[in-house]
Amino acid sequence: MPDGLRARLRRRLDSWTRPRTPETLPVAIDRRRVYVVPTGFGLFFAALLAAMGVGALNDNNNPALLLALLLSGAALASLLVAHLQLSGLRVVAAGAEPVPAGEPLSLRVHLRAADGRERRGLRVECGEATASASLADGAGEAVLELPTTQRGWLQPQRLRISTRQPLGLAFAWCLAWPQAQLLVYPRPERDAPPLPSGGGEGSRARPHVAGDEPHHLRAYRQGDPRRNIAWKPSARHGSLLVREHERREGAEIVLDWRELASLPVEARISRLARWVDEAERRNRRYRLRLPGESLGPAQGPAHRHACLRALALLPHAVD
Amino acid sequence: MPSTDAKRGAPLDAATRGWCYAAAAACLLPLLLQLPHATALAIAPCALAVAALSWRRPLPWWLRALLALAVFGTVFAAHGFAFARDTGCALLAAMLALKPSETVRVRDARSLLGFALFAPFATFLLDQGPLSLALGLAGACLALVALLRLSGFEAGIERGSGDWRLFRAALGLVGVGLPLALAAFWLFPRLAAPLWGTPGMSQARPGLSDSMTPSEWVDLLSDDTPALRVQFFGATPADIQRYWRGYTFWNFDGRTWTRALWIDAMPPAPVVPSATRWEYQLELEPTDRQQVVALDLPLSAPEGTTLDGNYGLAADRPLDEPRRWRMRSAAPAAFDARMPESLRRAALQLPAGFNPRTLALARQWRAEAGDDDAAIVRRALAMFHDSFAYTLAVPLAGRNAVDEFLFDTREGYCQHFSSAFVVLMRAAGIPARVVTGYAGGTYNRIGDYWLVRRSDAHAWAEVWLPGRGWVREDPTAAVSPERVYDTLADRANAGDGPLGGIDALAPVFDVGDWMRRGWNDFVLGFDANRQRNLLRSLHVDADTDRALLLAFAAAAVLALAWMAWRVAREQRERDPVLRAWRRLEKRYARRGFGRPPQEPAVAWAQRLNGSSPEPSPLLVLTTRFAEWRYASHQRDPRRARELIRDLCAHRPLAGEP
């Protein structure tokens, strides 16, 4: 119950505090959006000092009063220091490499501050995910592992940047809501059927053992490795020719949305995502045909990302 | 219980735990120094053992419970099962010694440090000397260091050799909070009277005893610690007049002199003071009594004291802290010549069946002197002067102590002399009484005040002479005046004992005592009264607490503002030239001609200059700034000052660019 209550209180508190909409980066944390509240230990410490102070005043015990007052002064100063740990901070960038749904997304939050003041032991929270950050020479980074559940754009929740420095008496926090569109790829199907065996241009001929016959050569295409270029035949033909290798089965695979019509939408996306990865792993050229667009044929990380992105951004089925 | 574990934090690493233990030990040290030696000697090894045993893993709960029971039992038994301030302090020390046994996580360590901070506080309840304060504050600072270290550990900050920076950070926090603390110390309204009773200072030294048994003062007479300090304004009494009046004893049972409480309760007898008045400020060191001493005779009772029937002063609460009073005294010219019969009887009272030889001698003197009381007094003093000696080594007296002293041993100290003298006078029919207090004192050149030590405790006699009233007679002075009116120099010249060469060291003692007096004055003696006087001296009418509160609030606001500025200042550019440059840029930015961060300063100035053939003042200034900044050979302070001046003076023109 106390935990539930605390969570409710925190939600209520958060709903009152700025910002209430995502902000474009960079976000500067000014003093008006930094909040300082005492921790449990802070309250205990305050009670301790109050007891000391009242006892000392009652006895007119000046050394004891001096002790209580010096500690109180230091405690108050620590509140200011806690506040200053955050104010003046800037959230410069927030971004993440896309991951398949279901895998944690590493959100990198880049923080910056004019150096000169120590800002160490900052804590960055986003939902359940927490990470610590320290600003060395005015810059630092926190890496948050956000859970992902579905493909598409992910707008992260508000980030809470907080610290208990320096004495642990106060909890200083602020919220930042960076406008960051993070992409989550579709979850690849786990036990998918093997890749469809080719199609398109390359499907007519099986590749042969490497030789120097011209019909084993084909025209150079962007992205072919240099060592595959057949320089002599190229010189004869006047255009670049590339030797087809035996294992490069030569065929371009076509991953066609329409051919999977029997599956529900998400399953189709999931299978295509799996096949894209599979094709990449096997070094195959592939084309992805989706309703309204066609990608490739090509191969390589850029193509893979383009394909997965297209898959991820397909409209969600309305059930 | 993983959830609780998560909430309480990870187990501490060895270094952090070491810091916490060290801080707790530093806080415990001053308290141990003030506790009775036996208690301290029991607790210190216990603390060490517990810390060592629980270093790797916490002690099992049953062992901790057993230890706690044993320690509490011992402490209570040692204090006779009474709960007082002493017991509380000893218990706190014991608890602190046991606390490391359960210190595993951040939260435990924080509660350890919280309790540890109470140890210096408890120390100050027992002793308020400079050493205790220094040790206590050092312990508190170490506790702050440990707290810094703890929260660093909690936040996962790696600390290599940077631990020493924590000291700077802790001192920085204290320093930033200092103005507020001092403002509160001086201006926060103090309580004129305590809200609840406070048990007496257990460590206050015994004061003058309220009874006198000859031969019992040897301890007091060898105690050289200060009893009071006096600063005179105007006339200073001569050596022979510096008698500090304490208790007056009337009743004698053959062995012990005691007060007559009914006489104390009477109003003091009317007295004609002599023309010379002595104005002085009296500062009393703490004692376990309520008796205040005053120069013979006080003219009135200062605030917080009452004058008793013997011109003794009693404070209205125990003198368990340094107190000070402004007083006036004057030697009596004459008392009221009549003496009530009840008082006369009391002043002539002698126990029956004691000291027959003394009584016989007194009767013989009376017969020879006839009505002349003064002659008898003179004769007694002459007898002491001629054939008696002063010594502290006195054998224990038997039943007829005065007889033995007057006719057999003939040596003793002030108690013996005054007691025998009064018995002799009473036997001769002259009303007489014993007065105790202090006599003499040494002058402190550095602080311009007189220091009276406990060893200056003295007993003398007063006799009632017709037409004059009570007259002070000091038989000890008749024997050995240097013992009464001694000064440090006198003792040095006497060359006795290990303090033979004390003459050269006298200024050192003077400085030491002067500093101690300053401590009493500024640190310990600051109370509600002094606070009001402070405001009055600033011409603030502080008759009500409201003025004080207002002053405090104002000072607190100022101090807080200073704190904020002081803490935020680190954000400020430190280089004054850069600072001036930034201000200049801001002035341009306000008009919409700000420099984008990626544009070099000179390029910016050139852009603003446009195509004009003449370089604008801004461009000239910017070029100078760039030269100063990037051509290091140009960095001489005079040029920097000029540059700052010009940067500050430059304003964008209305029509620019």
Residue B368 belongs to a domain = yes
* Contact between B157 and A70 using a beta-carbon 8 Å cutoff: no
In this predicted structure, what is the pLDDT of residue B245?
Answer: 92
What pLDDT, in 10s, does the model give residues A153-188?
Answer: 888 888 889 998 889 899 998 888 888 888 899 888
Is the bond into A38 cis (omega within 30 degrees of 0)? no
Mean pLDDT of A57-83: 89
Q: Which of chain A's residues have a Cβ under 8 Å away from the Cβ of B196?
A: 58
- Per the structure block, which two tokens stand in for B184? 């509160």
Helices (H), B450-600: 475-479, 481-484, 488-494, 502-518, 528-537, 545-568, 576-590
Alpha carbon B624 to its chain's center:
61
Q: Which residues are within 8 A (CB) of B474 and not within 5 positions of it... i.e. 6 or more apart?
A: B243, B418, B439, B460, B461, B484
Instruction: Identify whether residues B596 and B461 lie together within a single domain.
Output: no
**Closest C-alpha to A130, from A107, A113, A111, A151:** A107
In this predicted structure, what is the pLDDT of residue B486?
Answer: 57
Alpha carbon B487 to its chain's center:
25
* Contact between B121 and A64 using a beta-carbon 8 Å cutoff: yes
A42 pLDDT above the threshold of 90: yes
As beta bridge partners, residue A241 has A219
Distances (CA, A) of B535 to B368, B531, B541: 66, 6, 7
Q: Which of chain A's residues have a Cβ under 8 Å away from the Cβ of B571?
A: 84, 88, 114, 116-117
Please tell me which of the candidates A84, A165, A169 has its beta carbon nearest to residue B155: A165
Which of B32-41, B401-410, B488-497, B499-508 has the highest average model confidence (pLDDT)? B401-410
User: Three-state SS for B127?
Assistant: coil
**Pick among A34, A54, A80 to test the B interface (most B CBs inside 10 A):** A80
B48 pLDDT above the threshold of 80: yes
Instruction: Identify whether residues B295 and B394 lie together within a single domain.
Output: yes
Q: What span, in angstroms and rounded, lies between the C-alpha atoms of A49 and A72?
A: 7
* Contact between A60 and B118 using a beta-carbon 8 Å cutoff: no
Residue B179 belongs to a domain = no
Q: What span, in angstroms and rounded, lies between the C-alpha atoms of B364 and B424?
A: 11
A283 pLDDT above the threshold of 60: yes
B485: pLDDT confidence band, cut at 50, 70 and 90? low
For chain B, the average pLDDT equals 82
Please tell me which of the candidates B107, B133, B180 has its beta carbon nearest to residue A73: B180
Mean pLDDT of B388-413: 85
CA dihedral in degrees (A226, A231, A233, A237; nearest 10)? 90
Q: Element (H or E) spanning B473, and its range?
A: strand B469-473
Q: Which of chain A's residues have a Cβ under 8 Å away from the Cβ of B524?
A: 62-63
Instruction: Identify whether residues B150 and B242 lie together within a single domain.
Output: no
* Contact between B111 and A78 using a beta-carbon 8 Å cutoff: no
**Pick among A59, A132, A169 to test the B interface (most B CBs inside 10 A):** A59
From B174's Cα to the closest Cα of chain A, the distance in A is: 5
What pLDDT, in 10s, does the model give residues B404-435?
Answer: 899 988 888 888 899 999 999 999 999 999 99
Instruction: For strands B313-315 and B291-292, give the pairing.
Output: antiparallel
Q: What span, in angstroms and rounded, lies between the C-alpha atoms of A308 and B587?
A: 51
Residue B204 belongs to a domain = no
Residue B245 belongs to a domain = yes
B125 pLDDT above the threshold of 90: no
Please tell me which of the candidates B156, B194, B564 has its beta carbon nearest to residue A58: B194
ipTM: 0.75
Between B575 and B490, the higher pLDDT residue: B575
Residue B348 belongs to a domain = yes
In this predicted structure, what is the pLDDT of residue B206?
Answer: 67
Between A209 and A169, the higher pLDDT residue: A169
Mean pLDDT of A116-131: 82
Residue B517 belongs to a domain = no
From B640's Cα to the closest Cα of chain A, the distance in A is: 23
Give the dihedral sign, CA B155/B159/B162/B166: positive
Residue B80 belongs to a domain = yes
In this predicted structure, what is the pLDDT of residue B498?
Answer: 43
Written as one letter, the residue type at B452 is V
What pLDDT, in 10s, does the model give residues B149-183?
Answer: 988 888 877 766 567 788 888 998 898 889 889 88
Instruction: Identify whether residues B21 and B123 lie together within a single domain.
Output: yes
In this predicted structure, what is the pLDDT of residue B497?
Answer: 41
Mean pLDDT of B617-638: 80
Mean pLDDT of A218-229: 76
A207 pLDDT above the threshold of 60: no
B656 pLDDT above the threshold of 70: no
User: Three-state SS for B572?
Assistant: coil
Q: What span, in angstroms and rounded, lies between the C-alpha atoms of A148 and B633?
A: 58
A6 pLDDT above the threshold of 50: yes
Q: What span, in angstroms and rounded, lies between the C-alpha atoms of B199 and A247?
A: 98
Instruction: Identify whether residues B148 and B247 lie together within a single domain.
Output: no
Mean pLDDT of B572-593: 80
Instruction: Identify whether residues B130 and B251 lie together within a single domain.
Output: no
Range with the lowest mean pLDDT among A65-69, B52-56, B121-125, B553-557?
A: B52-56
Q: Any idea how long chain A is?
A: 319
Instruction: Identify whether residues B408 and B259 lie together within a single domain.
Output: yes
* Contact between B194 and A60 using a beta-carbon 8 Å cutoff: yes
Written as one letter, the residue type at A267 is A
Instruction: Identify whether residues B303 and B391 lie together within a single domain.
Output: yes
Helices (H), B206-279: 218-221, 261-264
Give strand ranges (E) for chain A. Answer: 27-28, 35-38, 90-95, 99-100, 105-112, 119-126, 129-135, 139-146, 152-154, 159-163, 170-176, 182-185, 217-219, 241-243, 253-256, 286-290, 293-298
Instruction: Identify whether residues B351 and B482 lie together within a single domain.
Output: yes
The boundaries of the domain holding residue B28 are 14-160
Helices (H), B9-129: 14-34, 37-53, 61-78, 85-98, 106-126
Residue B142 belongs to a domain = yes
Mean pLDDT of B185-205: 66
Determine the residue of chain A that is closest to B530 in CA distance: A60
Please tell me which of the candidates B174, B190, B321 has its beta carbon nearest to residue A73: B174
In this predicted structure, what is the pLDDT of residue B531?
Answer: 75
- Per the structure block, which two tokens stand in for B180? 């507020």
* Contact between A116 and B570 using a beta-carbon 8 Å cutoff: yes
From A169's Cα to the closest Cα of chain B, the distance in A is: 9
* Contact between A62 and B128 using a beta-carbon 8 Å cutoff: yes
Q: What span, in angstroms and rounded, lies between the C-alpha atoms of B194 and B213?
A: 36
* Contact between B564 and A80 using a beta-carbon 8 Å cutoff: yes
Mean pLDDT of B131-144: 92
Final residue of a structural domain among B116, B139, B160: B160
* Contact between B563 and A80 using a beta-carbon 8 Å cutoff: yes
B265 pLDDT above the threshold of 60: yes
In this predicted structure, what is the pLDDT of residue A73?
Answer: 92
B499 pLDDT above the threshold of 50: no
Instruction: For strands A182-185 and A99-100, give the pairing.
Output: parallel
* Contact between B523 and A166 using a beta-carbon 8 Å cutoff: no
In this predicted structure, what is the pLDDT of residue B145?
Answer: 93
Final residue of a structural domain among B160, B181, B210: B160
In this predicted structure, what is the pLDDT of residue A238?
Answer: 80
Q: Computed over its alpha carbons, how large is the radius of gyration of chain A? A: 30
Written as one letter, the residue type at A174 is C
| Count of helices and strands (H, E) across chain B | 25, 20
Question: What does DSSP assign to residue B524?
Answer: I
A57 pLDDT above the threshold of 90: no
B487 pLDDT above the threshold of 70: no
A43 pLDDT above the threshold of 90: yes
Share of residues in chain A with pLDDT > 70 (%): 87
* Contact between A80 and B174 using a beta-carbon 8 Å cutoff: no
Which of A164-173, A275-284, B158-167, B490-499 has the highest average model confidence (pLDDT)? A164-173
* Contact between B133 and A52 using a beta-carbon 8 Å cutoff: no
Please count the structural domains in chain B.
Answer: 3
Instruction: Identify whether residues B134 and B262 lie together within a single domain.
Output: no
Instruction: Identify whether residues B90 and B229 lie together within a single domain.
Output: no
| Residue B610: other Cβ atoms inside 10 A | 9
Between B592 and B28, the higher pLDDT residue: B28
Instruction: Identify whether residues B147 and B230 lie together within a single domain.
Output: no
**B500: phi > 0 → left, psi -120 to 50 → alpha, else beta; which?**
alpha
**Pick among A3, A66, A125, A128 to test the B interface (most B CBs inside 10 A):** A66
* Contact between A67 and B173 using a beta-carbon 8 Å cutoff: no
Angle, CA of B337, B342 and B347, to the nearest 5°? 75
Helices (H), B349-439: 356-369, 373-387, 401-403, 414-427
Question: What is the CB-side half-sphere exposure of residue B81 using CA atoms within 13 A?
Answer: 0
In this predicted structure, what is the pLDDT of residue B432?
Answer: 93
Final residue of a structural domain among B494, B519, B542: B494
Range with the lowest mean pLDDT among A47-51, A264-268, B555-559?
A: A264-268
